[in-house]
Each structure stands twice: as structure tokens, then as C-alpha cells.
Chains A and B, each alone.
Chain A
Amino acid sequence: MADALVKSEFLPKEAHAPAKAGLLFARPTAKTGLMSWLTTVDHKKIGVLYAAFAIFFFLVGGVEALLIRTQLMVPNNHFLGAHTYGELFTMHGTTMIFLAVMPLNAAFFNLLIPLQIGARDVAFPRLNAFSLWVFVAGATVMNIGWLLPSGAPAVGWFGYAPLTSKLFTPDISADLWAMGLQILGVSSIAASLNFIVTIINMRAPGLTMMRLPVFTWMALFTSFLLVLAMPAIAIALVEVIFDRHFNTMFFEASRGGQPILWQHLFWVFGHPEVYILILPPMGYISEILPTFSRKPLFGYAVVVFSGATIGFIGFGVWSHHMFTTGLGAVATAAFALATMAIAVPTGVKIFNWIGTLWGGHLQMRTPMLFALGFIWMFMLGGFSGIMHAAAPADAQQQDTYFVIAHFHYVLIGGATFALLAAIHYWFPKFFGRMVDETWGKISFWVIFVGFNCTFFPMHFLGLNGMPRRTWTYDSNMEWNGLNMFCTISAYVLGLGIFIYFATVVWSYFKGQKVGNDPWDGRTLEWSIPSPPPEHNFDAIPTVRARDGWWHAKQNPAEAKKDADAAIKAEAAHGGIHMPDQSWFPFFGGVGMLIAGLGFANYFPPASFTGLGILVLSIYFWALEGPGGYHIHLDQGAGEGHGHGGH
């Protein structure tokens, strides 16, 4: 049995079962090659695909950022045209939020949640694949403007009405932006419902909620935030599209519409969105710090409840993005106080992370360096956030480079540092090789220095009156030196990111091979082989304590007894059950893409064709049923027998 835990030769390498008579298409069974990726329902493969797309867009967004910085290097610059600059900052923000950080978090949700809760897959594997392909469709619609005569969207990632109206953006770029965002929202909601059901229903025996790994907790909160926040933007986007296509007047000022309404709807979504971006990183940090401190998270319950509190209050602070819109003194005061209140649970998390380090044996591996960098940078971003909460002071800071500095400290120093830590930390689990430590550490220091030199001076630029979203600036404003410095530093940051990902790619091919548990981890994912077999767990683990794997390592006899019992129980039910692959999630995504492009281009035949494909895909998807087959460990291969569905 111990042997079976390290080897994964039972991972089926080719079609193992006779093709089943599916609906329209034979049910795909390929385990390798393009087909296997397009039709996969395996949460790990889906996670890898999410990560690949997200990293691609992260690099695209990074190039956009460097072009922006190049334009701002010297005053009165005409390196980029004003409109191109508008496209670039719009797409930089949109790409980094919706196409890089969110899907990278989604990648980790996919990769880790089933492993951390001891499950074989998510609750709805085909819905999971559907979320992925819808995300790809949305990303395509969002970016395709670069190749079209309209150009990419140039309305800002916040798309403030009435700039998005037909009058001020007559071409289809704003339609592409609205439809792209709408489709991405569908993906997020579908994925989030899936994760909520998975976390609540599919936990291994003994894994009570208060034993759940903190990352999984944060994923649960994030999923709830998405499900609750996304509808606000969905409605707002429908209104924008109606205004543009059907001459309604939700935001059409010339006919009595209210542009301010857009801002409320957008930020009712947009502020929870900030926590959607940052809660999962708090989860990674809460996993990485205990591992490399070699002791449990300090104040587990407090960290969990503060996450919930942040999520809850996060819905009540949206108007702090609107302190300069003339809310009136009472509303301004209320939102200022609520914003200060949200600093308390955030601060509590920082105290607990420091408490985790205290008394530990800190091992300074690369993920630990990024995690410590996260705490420092996130702390600075948090403090400038408190400054924004003081509404009258914010009247000077709002829409200046001070805000740019603030949220890049939270989103690069915070979210991105945590994601880079997470990639380095979990890479061996999914690829069976370590990321090179020496180059990992070098990349950390280059990124750390480049990041701080790029963004810290922006506080001064903002306080010295430089507004954001400026294509160029005059040379008499005393902004020249710092802008030059920021641009040079941005190249250093870009170099660091390049070193990081070059190291990851190199390690994929040449990295040192490792076993199940290279970091002496604490949670269940470290109990299984690297990379994990298709079915994840030979025996569904029985969790006896928080940090279940750590406990099992301390009590091997008990763990062995639990595993044997679990295998016996499962064998009595026919072995390990796995879901079948399916074409329909992919086709659903294709339908969504065609429909989205059809709507954005005012071309109803394409819209209806796309919607038709989508509806048919969902219909056949429901009709074909989950299918499935069993894997028998002792035989080393699965035995197919469809059941369920039809």
C-alpha cells in the first residue's frame, strides 16, 4: 500500500474503455493530447489550463504596463498616441484583474480545493470545465479589439458612464468591453457555485469546517463574494448594452439618465472585487507561513473569522471609491467610518501572521521570501488605504498617482507576491519537480527592489499633484525625475518577472525531482504523489485534526488504520468512481464566444447562432449525464461501466 502511495503507474495512459455511445459525439476518453485537454473534467488539468491562460495574460498585461511606463518616461512624449495610451491603461487594468489575478486564483482553487478537502474532484466537473472555456471566450472578446478597426476598449477598466455611451464611444470597442466582462462574470459565477458546493459537501470524513485549511476557507469566502457581487455588474452591463443597442437611457445623460448610478452599481461589485482578488492570496500566505515556520497558524479561528468579516464589510464600503462625487457629508462620513472599520480585521490578519512566525523555525525558502515580502508590502498598501479612508484627505489623493501606488502595493506587493509564492510552493506538487531555489531567490530580490522603486515614488508623484490616466505631462510640473526613475525601475521589475517565469519553465524540464512532501507540509495535498494521480487519493483520508497531514505524520499507525478502512469501504462500492470526459462544456464556451462577438458587432445572426450552440450544448450535456468509470487500484487500470444520466 505504501508503494501505491508513491507510484502513480495506475494513471491510465490511454483510452481504457470502449467508446461509449454518447449523444452526437462519442464520449471522449483520451487521456493525453489535445483532445484530453479540450474535453477534460479533471480539476487538476482544468487548474493547469487556468494557470496557463492567466500567466499568458499576466505577461500581456505586463508588456502593456511597460509601454505605459515608456510613454511616461519623459514629459511631453509622443511615443504613444493619446488614444492608444487610453487603450493600454484600460486593457492593462482589465487584463490584470479579470484575466490574470482572478483566473490564477481560480487555477489554485481548482488545483487545491479537492486535494485539501480530500476529494476526488469538484462537485460538478463538467460545470468546472464550462467555467474555464467561458473564461477563455470572455478573454477573447475582451482582447479581440486589438485586431479590429475599432481598437481595444479605451473607457478605463471602470468604464464610467457616459464615456461608454454611443455618443462618446461610437465604435464597438465599448461593446467588446461590456460583453467580455459579462461573459467573464458568467464564468466566475458558475465556478464559484461549484466551489461552494464542493467545499460544503465533499469534505473528507472528520474534516469539519473548523479543521478546513485556511486557503480553502478563503476560497469559500471568495466564492460567496463572487456569487453576490457579480450580479451587480451583470445588471449594470446589461444596462450599458441596452443603452448602446436599444436606445434605453439608464445612463444616457442627454435624456435624463443617471451616470452616477453606474458608479454605484460598478463599485458595489468593484469593492468586493478587491477582496475577491486579495482573500485567496491571504489564504496562500496562511498556508505557506506555517509550513516554513514549522508550526500551526497563530489564531486559526481569528484568521478565518476576520476573513468572513472582511467579506461582509466589503459590501458596505463601495462609496469610498466615490468620495469626490458629491455624496453629501452624511454618506461620506458613513463610508469613511466603514472603511476604517474594515482595516481592523485586515490588521488582525497581519498580527496573526507575525504570531505564526514568532517562536517558529523559519526556513527561508523562496516561497517564504515572497510570503514575507507580501506581509511588508501589504502592510504598506493597507496603511495608504487607511489614508484614503479619511475622505477629505482622499479628495486630494483620489485619481492621482498616490492611488496607483496604493493599489499596486495591494495588488502586486500583495496579491502578486502571494501568487508567485504559491506557484513556487505548489509547483512540485503538480509537476513533480522543484523550482530552482537559487534563481527563485534571485528573482525575488530583483522583483522586490524593482517593485518598490517603481511604486513607492508614485506616492510622491500623487501628492505632488500628478493625476492618473494621464497620457503625458508638461515638463514644468516637477514630475520629470521621479517618472524617469519609476520607468527605469519598472524595467527592473519586468526583468525580475522574466527571471521568475524563465526559472519556472526551466524547472519544468530540468528541475530536481521530488517525492510527495518536499516542504514537510501540513495539509492533505502533501500526502499524495507528485504529480497526483487522476483520482487524487487512493484512500479517502480520515481527518483527525486541523493540519490533517501533519497530524497523520505524527500518528502513522492511526493513519494507516484509517486508510485501510477507507479502501475497504470503497472497494465494497465498486472501487474508485471517476466522471467521464465531455465535449459539451467546450462547445458551450464556443457558443458563448460566438454570441458575445455577435452582440458586440451588432450582428444578430451570429448572436442567435451562438446562443443556439450554447443552449444545445447545455441540453445535450444534461442529457448525456455524468457517466463515469471505476478505477481499481490493484489492477492498475480502470474498468469502464457507465451508470447514471440516461
Chain B
Amino acid sequence: MAGGLQTLRCACVRACAGRPQLNDIMRFSAFLRSLARRAYPALAVALLALPASGALWLEGPQSTFQTAGPVAKDQLHLFYITLWVTLILFVITGSALAVATLKFRAKTEADEHAAPPPQSHGNPVVELGLTIGSIVCLLFIAVPTLHSIKYTYDVENGETPGKLAKLVEEGKAYRIKATGYQWWFKFEYPTEKTAAGSDLVTANELVIPAGMPVHIDLRTGDVIHSFWVPKLGGKVDMIPNRPNHLWLQADEPGYYFGQCAEYCGDSHSIMKFRVIALAKDDFAKWLAAQKQPARAAAPLAPTPAAKGTMAVLNLDGRDRLAPLAGTGDASVAFTAWQARQQPAPAQENTALISAGRRLFRDNNCIMCHAIRGQEGIGTNAPDLTHVGARSTIAAGLLENNPERMKDWLIEPDYWKPSNKMFHGITYPVKMAGYLKLDESGQPQMNPTGQPVRNIALTDADATALTAYLQSLK
């Protein structure tokens, strides 16, 4: 056993050795300290709050019980049917089991040594009756299941491409394409053209019209992912070489939490997204703003940034258990999102923005990220044209505010392990991220065994980049 633990410890150390920017041992001891500080209160809260907070168990931002659209409602309705049928069966069967156990239990020493009971072998009538009874019970589930399979499969009257196109044309349905990547989501609007004539593209925050069925085509750029917004509907997988789709509808404008639901590699658990449903007018307004090229708050700085020492992520004094992506209260988050759509404040540090824009170009960020109308031209990372108007960054992981964005830019691998911005890509082309790659595409190591940095942001760089990205409303 000790050997096994030792091995596991080696594995932990080794797994981190590939990303040694932070001292893991220290990180762990810091964690232990922080855990110890809150162990007693946390335990007390957990034990006291559990029985009292029954309602809270099913009221999270991804609750399948607080449905907000017809697909999720239908699925919940079916769940309740299965729950009631099985609950009744459980009460009946469980009672029989409990009665049999209590009634026939040997209670005294004499019972223990009594002569064996009659050696009966069964009863065909009972067997047959119970079998038929089970089948009847299952019919109560089977019939609604079949109905629901048909209903949730696609937009009503839009089951074929032709019919769907007609619905979209008539304005009775909306169509969007979602593509999963390790570890973020791309959203394309095939019916909305930008000023440059291309399809409108956004990332990680899907904005849809409320009160209208939305047919979402599901694709993937690499491995299998799964598209899931619990309050709006169940998940459907995004599978290579297999076009899938789902439909959902948000009855009311609002802010909904979504998450990848199929294991897709190291950062699967933090591959999240949001769905924002808007009333008709608001949606039109949002589309018009999104179709504009990126807001140019300042021109490209003429000179490159000064060299300096690499910034180190410092989380001392921060509450490690505090939410990373802000509140889970959807109505508060919705208000905050709406506020972000307002024009940028009058006083902006244009010098800083200008320097950030230059850094964005000089560090090759532009090769992967598109910023329409400015330098960014890449398409294999999230489109950042209007990133300042989003409520989250890093695929729904972090709240979009200057502090979090700077943390993210300094040390992306801490927040999202194995991410491509940090580690670079080898397919379909070799492109380095924060780390330098050798010929075979492996991280280049310096003589001390540390990976060599391709991008080493100073604290000032990170501040400038943050200012630039925040300005992209």
C-alpha cells in the first residue's frame, strides 16, 4: 500500500513536472493551510446545512429541475413519471422485503435451532402474476418515453433540412452551429453576415432569441464533446465525422449555464459556456453590434514593449474557494451581462490599450485569435472581436474582469491545464504558444529541465494586454 501511495505521489509530481511554472509542493501546502483554516467552519456548515438545505440541492445554476424551456420541461416531466412509477414499486417491493425480513427473522435462541421450515419450491401463479405486473408498470414509462423521444428529437415541423430551412426563413425557428474544441466552444450564425460578408462567429457565450425554437448543429474540431445546457434541455454529443443536432428554446430572456458533458481530456471539467436568451428587439440590437468590426479604442503602438522580468501568478491572500466565474445567480449574471453590452467608459487609458494591441500582435496571439477589423486573423482559437462584451473568459471558467483576465494571461496553464494557448499545437500545423517547441513538437527544455518560454509576459505586459482586450466591446 505504501508503495502504491509512493507511486501515486511520483505520478502527481511527474504530471506537474511538465508544467513546472508554479511550485506544486508549495501549492499543495498552501492548499493544506487554507483547508485547515476552513476545515472546522466548512465541516460545521456542511453538517448543519445539509438537512436544512434540501431545496438547495436541486437549485443550482445547472439544475435539471428549474427548467426554462419546453425541451427541458418535457424531459423533467418524463423523469417525474419514471420517479413515481419506480417509487411506487420501491414502496411495494421494499415493504415485502422488510416484512419478510422482520417477520421471519430468528428472534430467539430457540428460533435459531428450530427444525427447518417446509422446503417449498415456488409458486408459478405468483411468478407469472408478478412478471405480468412488472410489464404493465413499465408500459406506464414506455408510452410517454416514445412520445418524448419524438418531441425532443427536432424542432416541430422541422425534421427535414428543407422543412427546417422554411421555418428559419419564415422566422419561426432559428439556426446556429456550435463546434466543440479542446476546451472551448465556437458558435456560428449562418444566417447573419458581418460587414465583411462572413458568417458571424462568437465563442463560449451563445446568444439566442428567446421564445423561439433554436436548432443547433453540433460539430467538433477534435475529440468528442457534448453540448449541455441543463435548464434548457438534455445533452447531445459532438462527434467527429458525425453531424448531430439538438433543439431547445428559452421561454424567457435570461442567462443559462452550460458545460461540456463528455470527457474530452485534461480540462474537460472546465469547458463551460453560457447561453444568453434575448427578447426579439434586444437580440436584433445585439446582432447589429456583433456584426460591427472590433472597436478600435487606440491605434497600434509604434514601438514594441520594453523587456522585463516575467510576471508570476500570485494568489496569496485570495480566497481559493471563492467562485471563479462570479455569481451563480442567473438573474444577477444576466443584469451584469447586459451592462457589459453598453459602450465603453469615456475615460480609457489609450496608451495602455495601444501598447496591449502591439503586444497582442508581437506575441503572435493574432495567429490563432481573430479580432475582426484589426490584426487578429487566426481561426483556431476563440474569436475575440467583442470579448469585452462577454461576461466570462477562458470558456466560461473565469469572470471577465481586469483582475481575472490578467491572472489568466500570466499563467493560463494554472487555470486550464494542458490548454493549447500555453502548450502550443502540433496539428494541423506546429505552432508554439507560451512554451517554445522543439522540432518534434515537444516543449523545449533548458539545461535545468525547465521548459523554455516563447511568451514571457511582464506584469506591465499583462496589464496592457488586459486593457486592450477589455476595450474590445
- State which of B5, B58, B120, B269 has its C-beta within 8 Å of the C-beta of A470: B269
Q: Are B418 and A82 in contact (CB under 8 A)?
A: yes
Contact between B11 and A485, CB atoms less than 8 A apart: no
Closest to A74 in B: B321
Q: Could you say which of A83, A154, A344, A399 contacts B135, with CB atoms under 8 Å apart?
A: A344
Question: Does A325 lie within 8 Å of B244, measured CB to CB?
Answer: yes
CA distance A178 to B431 in the complex (A): 30
CB distance from A379 to the nearest CB of B (A): 6
**Bound CA–CA A147/B6 (angstroms):** 10
- Assign chain B's interface to a size class: 35 or more
Q: Which of B5, B114, B121, B328 has the most CB of A within 10 A?
A: B121
Would you call B57 and A460 a contact (CB within 8 A)? yes
- Say yes or no for A637: interface residue by CB 8 A criterion: no
Is A299 located at the chain interface by the 8 A CB criterion? yes
The answer to whether B117 and A360 touch across the interface, beta carbons within 8 angstroms, is yes
Q: Are A76 and B117 in contact (CB under 8 A)?
A: no
- Please pick, from A253, A340, A376, A398, the residue contacting B141 in the complex, using a CB distance under 8 A: A340
When distances are taken between beta carbons in the complex, the residues of chain B under 8 Å from A326 are 218, 236-237, 239, 242, 244-245
How far apart are the CA atoms of A578 and B65 in the complex, in Å? 65
**Given A160-B263, A465-B64, A358–B100 Cβ distance below 8 Å?**
yes
Q: Which of B120, B268, B417 contacts A296 (CB 8 A)?
A: B120
**A interface, how many residues as a size bin?**
35 or more
Of the listed stretches A40-48, A471-479, A526-534, A579-587, chain B binds: A471-479
Known: A78-B31, A383-B86. A399 touches B94 (CB 8 A): no
Residues of B near A387 (CB, < 8 A) are 79, 82-83, 86
In the complex, 6 of the A-B residue pairs with CB atoms within 8 angstroms, ordered by the A residue number, are A167-B427, A299-B123, A348-B134, A465-B62, A471-B266, A478-B59
| Across-interface contacts of A332 in B (CB, < 8 A) | 149, 153
Query: Does A295 sit within 8 A of B, measured CB to CB?
Result: yes
Q: Which residue of A lies closest to B139 (CB)?
A: A340
Closest to B138 in A: A340
Within A306-352, which residues are at the interface with B (CB < 8 Å)? 324-326, 328-329, 332-333, 336-337, 340-341, 343-344, 347-348, 350-352
Q: A395 in the interface, Cβ–Cβ < 8 Å?
A: yes
Contact present for B149 and A354 (CB under 8 Å): no
**A609 at the binding interface (Cβ < 8 Å):** no
B373 at the interface (CB under 8 A from A): no
Q: Is B239 within 8 A of A75, CB to CB?
A: no
Q: Is B46 an interface residue (CB 8 A)?
A: yes
Contact between chains at B236 and A386 (CB < 8 Å) = no
- With a CB–CB cut-off of 8 A, which chain A residues contact B12? 80-81, 84
A400–B47 Cα gap in the complex (Å)? 24
Q: Mark A60-72, 1 if CB is under 8 A from B, else 0.
A: 1001100100000
Q: Which residues of B contact A257 (CB under 8 A)?
A: 240-241
| Complex Cα gap A83–B307 (Å) | 33
Q: B290: which A residues are within 8 A, CB to CB?
A: none
**Which residues 54-88 in B have Cβ within 8 Å of A in the complex?**
56-65, 72, 74-76, 78-79, 81-83, 85-86
Q: For residue A154, which residues in chain B have a CB less than 8 angstroms away from its CB?
A: 266
**Contacts of B105 on A, CB cut-off 8 Å?**
362, 364
Closest to B129 in A: A351
Q: Which residues of B contact A364 (CB under 8 A)?
A: 105-106
Instruction: Collect the chain B residues with CB atoms within 8 Å of residue A400's CB.
Output: 261
| CB <8 Å contact, B4 and A83 | no
Q: Is A354's CB under 8 angstroms from B131's CB?
A: no
Q: Are B138 and A386 in contact (CB under 8 A)?
A: yes
A-B pairs with the 6 shortest C-beta distances?
A: A395-B234, A465-B62, A478-B60, A253-B240, A470-B269, A476-B328
**Given the interface contacts A332-B149, A393-B78, does A146 sit within 8 Å of B141 by beta carbon?**
no
Q: Are A393 and B82 in contact (CB under 8 A)?
A: yes
Whether, in the assembled complex, B122 has its beta carbon less than 8 Å from a beta carbon of chain A, the answer is yes
Assess whether B362 is interfacial by the CB under 8 Å rule.
Answer: no
Task: Let me know if B46 and A484 touch, CB within 8 A.
Answer: yes
Q: How far is A376 from B90 in the complex, measured between Cα atoms in Å? A: 9
* Most B-side CB within 10 Å, residue of A82, A295, A460: A82
Q: How long is the Cα–Cα vector from A389 to B79 in the complex, in angstroms? A: 10
Indicate if B339 sits at the interface (CB-CB under 8 A): no
Nearest CB to that of A257 among chain B residues?
B241
Which residues of A388-426 are within 8 A (CB) of B? 389-400
